[in-house]
Structure 1
Amino acid sequence: MTDATTATTGAAATAAASGAAATERFRSKRTGGDAAGNATDTRRVDTLATEVLAAVHEVIRRQRVSYAEYDALKSWLIQVGQDGEWPLFLDVWVEHVVEEVANADRLGSKGTIEGPYYVPGSPSFDGAATLPMRPDEPGVPLLFQGRVTSVDGTPLPGARIEMWHADAEGFYSQYAPGLPEWNLRGTVVADGRGGFAIRTVEPAPYQIPTDGSCGRLIAAAGWHAWRPAHLHLKVSAPGHQLVTTQLYFRGTSHVEDDIASAVKPELVLSPVAARDGAGKEVTHDFVLDRI
């Protein structure tokens, strides 16, 4: 989300506020033993922790890290926690590799990172629907349509297509003040042919919050903070593997240099002028692998 104050939100969407919301959301969905490490294989923890620490040690030796740099790192790590930005940090700079490894053997549609702004339980609609939005929702109208099939081409009636995305100013509902709770969030149930049609608006590219610890890292490293415009989706059907993905828009800014490194060629859409004259439309099918 951007950190600018706008008439739409009525107040700034700060890193502290969005970070706290993302952290609390993560805690609420991680309630089992794994969250506390109680149900994890100690040998696996030993292997991973040892290798991570060894990699850190190697960087320190190779780069001859000074005590001043070490103290700056320690101070920054403490501040990341105080800002509630660990979900943001991990989702932006680490999750894309975890997703790549976790889904390396899955057939069908490509996935990518979930990101920190997913909220379960969005309003449900059948077949064709318009995402919840304000009466004067800004942005170019977009019709997103397609079918959900299994890897053998069998249609998947009743497949669930969850969609959420930023608005035309780069803000997510439930993470920026002033937006309706489910703005631009919804779940569409595919029809008897596995088909769906979702009307929404084109989202905007946005900066991740830059007024917190992640922003300080970006500034210190001379990086940019931008994510390309994208639609978030989770697509599921009984007996099939869930696909979590993001879809981007060809020719828009930062598709080639996404700060989260989440763009894949298969995920870039090419919308065309809508046949009904209202904005744009694009067809994109999902193919799910069996469990």
Structure 2
Amino acid sequence: MSAPTAPKPTAAGSGRSATERFARKERAGATVDQARVDTLATAALTALHQVIREHGVTYAEYDALKAWLIRVGEDGEWPLFLDVWVEHVVEEVANTDRQGTKGSIEGPYYIPGAPEFRTEATLPMRDDEKGTPFVFQGTVTDLDGSPVEDATVELWHADDDGYYSQFAPGIPEWNLRGTILTGPDGRFAFSTMKPAPYQIPTDGSCGALVAAAGWHPWRPAHLHLKVSAPGRAPITTQLYFEGGEWVENDVAQAVKPELILRPTPAASGTGEEVTYDFALDPAQ
């Protein structure tokens, strides 16, 4: 009798996993400021009313919107919708006053507690991990350029097929995820595999919106990072690759010029490498 076939990862499956994980997050201590809710809800509704008036929305279009909004909830895709089309503006506003490294969206695939290393690490990966070997290295500093010791640099990214560990079947738990603590010189170096572009899920309501509007569902290849240190403001960001597909028209609109990497052939002669430094603002 043959062994059962392992399920294949899919974009839709990854999206469902991300939604389910978000739904399980604890939100203890959350408070609601009534005046703030009034301000934001009124402004959002006023903006929507203006769209209806300006574009002459018909009852048929209004009914289609109602049906789609109901489907978003039934599909469990509100986190996906917000992460793709709204979060980049929230991030922009949240980091308006930041002087150091630019931030970007976190996205739905972050998992705390990745394996920890000091100064250098090869990310956990399969023996036959596909892709181009890639070294990502740099230094964590203050705004004045002084190195920061014991800064925490968390790195996670998709594999060569565009899937994340813990969000797709058949991938080891901590595959392509790791954390480095910097030494006295503030340096870190990750050895990994270069990630690939991937599609957001398209079999649900968000995919229906993409198709109806004639948009594309692709995110460019990118690295996710969180960098933090005592007494400094943490930064969450994504880094992209110059000349990569979809960099110029990322569906999530999260690419910034300051976040573009320009890899070169690795000194080892195998794969590519790049150096990118992080400057942390003081904690507020």
Could you tell me the TM-score, scaled by structure 1's length?
0.92
Q: Distance in 2 between matches of 1:14 and 1:169?
A: 10
Match of 2:27 in 1: 31
State the Cα distance separating 1:28 from its structure 2 match. Answer: 3.3
State the Cα distance separating 1:98 from its structure 2 match. Answer: 0.6
The C-alpha deviation readout for 1:260-281, integer Å capped at 9, x for no partner, is 1111111000000001111000
Give yes or no for the alignment of 1:20 onto 2:11: no
Query: Aligned-pair RMSD on alpha carbons?
Result: 1.3
Q: Distance in 1 between matches of 2:73 and 2:21?
A: 15
Letter in 1 for 2:114: S
The C-alpha deviation readout for 1:219-268, integer Å capped at 9, x for no partner, is 00000111110000000000101110000000111111111111111100
Aligned counterparts, 1:1-291, within 5 A: 10-15=7-12, 17-34=13-30, 39-291=31-283
Moved over 6 A (4+): none
Q: 1:88 to 1:141 in 2, by over 3 A?
A: same
Letter in 1 for 2:184: G
Contact in 1 for aligned 2:88/2:104 (Cα 8 Å):
yes
Contact in 1 for aligned 2:77/2:205 (Cα 8 Å):
yes
Structure 2 unaligned regions, length at least 5:
1-5
Could you tell me the TM-score, scaled by structure 2's length?
0.95
Contact in 1 for aligned 2:152/2:229 (Cα 8 Å):
yes
The C-alpha deviation readout for 1:21-55, integer Å capped at 9, x for no partner, is 22232233342242xxxx12100000000010111
Q: Distance in 2 between matches of 1:28 and 1:161?
A: 25
Contact in 1 for aligned 2:156/2:176 (Cα 8 Å):
yes
Alignment partner of 2:124: what SS? coil
Q: Distance in 2 between matches of 1:85 and 1:53?
A: 21
Q: Distance in 2 between matches of 1:18 and 1:177?
A: 9
State the Cα distance separating 1:70 from its structure 2 match. Answer: 1.3
Greater alpha carbon shift after TM alignment, 146-155 vs 62-71:
62-71
Letter in 2 for 1:13: T
State the Cα distance separating 1:199 from its structure 2 match. Answer: 0.4
Match of 1:5 in 2: none
Contact in 1 for aligned 2:104/2:254 (Cα 8 Å):
yes
Q: Distance in 2 between matches of 1:211 and 1:191?
A: 46
